[in-house]
């Protein structure tokens, strides 16, 4: 008995301890690199800690400290718009999991607002594992910094509280906010995560469609669209909103650009699909006559989504494909619209454009095309050869084409397994962001393939039992 116990302990000493020690040494080494003066080194260290997952738990304090690190993983700091060291630190904390929650809750009270905001963003990534943070996130809804409040709103909708708890809390905050407080937009955009089945949010979203603020109205439309046909009760209110002349700021708000709110309303109707037939006459008029080209394009997409067999839908498809091919038109928006439709004709047109010669400086159109194919997902499997070719491109400033191609291949899933060698090569590129995305795409393809095999095996077993 004692000899057996001694042997067991000896086994642990020789076989378990050596496994733990190298992992601990690696974590310690990466923590040291997190303090490097070179942002590229700090970024790589945080990404390496992310790959270690729960093993990196000892690195929680330095990762929390890195949540305000704006260092970029490239020397092109001025032009770089991708993730920073703080984003990599947040991802690493999320990969460690539940053990990070106490430290993140404490970070919500940090004196630095960037740390508070990133702590909330990280809790959002953890989802229900961060349920213990609900009370502190509720307090953070009153943070003095608006962008911290916005992050808290997004997080509180994701940490697993029941809709009966979180929706009334967010609605109360919405109604008490000043009319010009952007938190109202953040709240409306968070409701799909707070109430995925739309059991409680429809009245507030429909009410917000009639708000005097264009940004609020657009946020309500976008959230309704995210519910797809669960939002069919809002079709009449959305159809009425097609006549609005309100505008909202777009992602380049600092430059004063605006977008008609009716464009967001059209997108919502497209997402709802066939239940939105009542809006067809208005959508035909918008496609043919609206002064805004993006509104015309999205109206065409909505017509195809709602009644694909009608003559108006066939005319809409022709219009979209012609726009995609016309360099004087909004080609990238036409690509997005075809991605929303996702039928065989859309995939064929997008694939052809992705393979066309491209002498542009940044390849922006082809990046948009690859993104659209990713939105289509598995039905875009015939585009895999074109996406593989785009991923292998070496044009220096076409990095967005490669990034969007890697993302699209991951979303297509098992049908893109032929692209794994290209993705492996991309995972060793000089572009840190592409490395991460290519590795993630490989994981998605393999995981989806395993799930598919399990489902097939289960189906065969069920058939045999019958």
Q: Is residue 316 part of a domain?
A: yes
The pLDDT assigned to 251 comes to: 55
Average of per-residue pLDDT values in the chain: 90
In the block, residue with structure tokens 């572009």: 431
Task: Tell me what the mean pLDDT of segment 126-153 comes to.
Answer: 97
* Region of poorest pLDDT, from 92-96, 325-329, 376-380, 388-392: 325-329
What whole-number percentage of the chain has pLDDT above 70?
89
What CATH number is associated with residue 311?
Answer: 1.25.10.10
Confidence of residue 168 (pLDDT cuts 50, 70, 90): very high
In a domain, 408, yes or no: no
Nearest alpha-carbon partner for 94 in 174, 158, 182, 6:
158
Evaluate whether residue 329 is within a structural domain.
yes
Q: What is the pLDDT of residue 179?
A: 84
List the beta bridge partners of residue 249.
258
Nearest to 93 by CA among 114, 80, 113, 107: 107
Enter the pTM of the model.
0.86
Lowest mean pLDDT among 18-27, 44-53, 106-115: 18-27
The rounded distance, in Å, linking the Cα atoms of 98 and 104 is 10
pLDDT band at 21 (very low <50, low <70, confident <90, very high): low
Residue 22 has pLDDT above 70, yes or no: no
Average pLDDT of span 125-143: 97
With respect to residue 442, please indicate whether it lies within any of the assigned structural domains.
Answer: no
Residue 162: pLDDT over 70: yes
Please say if the pLDDT value at position 79 is more than 70.
Answer: no
Q: Is 441 a member of any domain?
A: no
Write down the pLDDT at residue 20.
Answer: 46
pLDDT in tens, 398-431: 999 999 999 999 999 999 999 999 999 999 998 8
Query: At residue 16, does pLDDT exceed 90?
Result: no
The greatest distance separating any two alpha carbons of the chain, rounded to the nearest whole angstrom, comes to 89
User: Residues 290, 259, 232, CA angle at the centre, nearest 5°?
Assistant: 75
89 inside domain: no
Confidence (pLDDT) at 273: 97
| Residue percentage of the chain with pLDDT more than 90 | 79
Domain, as residue range, for 299: 206-341
Q: Is the confidence at residue 18, as pLDDT, over 90?
A: no
- pLDDT at residue number 180: 80
Tell me the average pLDDT across 272-276: 97
Each residue's pLDDT tens digit, 296-327: 999 999 999 999 999 999 999 999 999 999 87
Q: Total structural domains in the chain? A: 1
Q: What is the mean pLDDT of residues 291-297?
A: 94
- Identify whether 330 is part of a domain: yes
Does any domain span residue 262? yes
Instruction: State pLDDT tens for residues 384-402.
Output: 999 999 999 988 889 999 9
Q: What is the pLDDT of residue 1?
A: 44
- pLDDT-wise least confident of 25-29, 227-231, 451-455: 451-455
**CB of 235 within 8 A of CB of 278?**
yes
What pLDDT is attached to residue 378? Answer: 97
Choice among 97-101, 238-242, 255-259 with the minimum mean pLDDT: 255-259
Q: Which whole number is the average pLDDT over 60-84? A: 82
Is residue 369 scored above 70 in pLDDT?
Answer: yes
């Amino acid at each position: 008995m004692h000899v057996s116990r001694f042997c067991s302990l000896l086994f642990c000493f020789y076989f378990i301890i050596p496994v733990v020690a190298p992992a601990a040494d690696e974590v310690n080494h990466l923590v040291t690199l997190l303090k490097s003066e070179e942002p590229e080194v700090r970024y790589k260290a945080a990404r390496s800690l992310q790959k270690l997952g729960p093993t990196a738990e000892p690195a929680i304090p330095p990762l929390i400290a890195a949540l305000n690190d704006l260092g970029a993983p490239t020397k092109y700091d001025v032009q770089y718009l991708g993730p920073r060291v703080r984003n990599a630190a947040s991802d690493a904390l999320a990969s460690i999991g539940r053990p990070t929650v106490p430290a993140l809750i404490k970070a919500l009270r940090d004196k630095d607002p960037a740390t508070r905001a990133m702590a909330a963003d990280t809790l959002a990534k953890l989802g229900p594992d961060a349920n213990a943070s609900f009370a502190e996130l509720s307090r953070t809804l009153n943070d003095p910094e608006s962008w911290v409040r916005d992050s808290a709103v997004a997080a509180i909708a994701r940490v697993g509280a029941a809709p009966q708890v979180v929706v009334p809390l967010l609605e109360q905050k919405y109604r008490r906010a000043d009319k010009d407080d952007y938190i109202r937009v953040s709240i409306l955009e968070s409701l799909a995560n707070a109430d995925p089945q739309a059991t409680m949010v429809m009245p507030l979203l429909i009410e917000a469609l009639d708000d005097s603020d264009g940004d609020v109205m657009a946020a309500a439309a976008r959230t309704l669209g995210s519910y797809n046909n669960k939002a069919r009760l809002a079709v009449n209110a959305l159809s009425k909103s097609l006549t609005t002349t309100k505008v909202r700021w777009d992602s380049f708000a600092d430059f004063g650009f605006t977008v008609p709110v009716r464009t967001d309303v059209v997108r919502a109707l497209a997402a709802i699909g066939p239940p939105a037939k009542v809006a067809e006459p208005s959508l035909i008029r918008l496609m043919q006559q609206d002064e805004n080209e993006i509104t015309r394009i999205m109206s065409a997409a909505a017509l195809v989504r709602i009644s694909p067999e009608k003559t108006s839908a066939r005319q809409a498809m022709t219009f979209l494909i012609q726009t995609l091919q016309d360099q004087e038109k909004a080609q990238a928006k036409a690509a997005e619209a075809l991605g929303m439709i996702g039928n065989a004709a859309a995939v064929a047109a997008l694939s052809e454009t992705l393979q066309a010669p491209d002498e542009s400086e940044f390849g922006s159109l082809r990046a948009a095309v690859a993104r659209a194919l990713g939105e289509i997902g598995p039905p875009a499997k015939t585009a895999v050869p074109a996406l593989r070719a785009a991923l292998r491109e070496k044009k220096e400033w076409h990095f967005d084409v490669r990034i969007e191609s890697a993302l699209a291949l991951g979303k297509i899933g098992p049908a893109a397994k032929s692209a794994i060698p290209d993705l492996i090569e991309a995972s060793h590129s000089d572009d840190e962001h592409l490395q991460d995305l290519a590795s993630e795409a490989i994981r998605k393809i393999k995981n989806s393939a395993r799930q598919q095999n399990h489902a097939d095996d289960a189906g065969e077993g069920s058939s045999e039992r019958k």
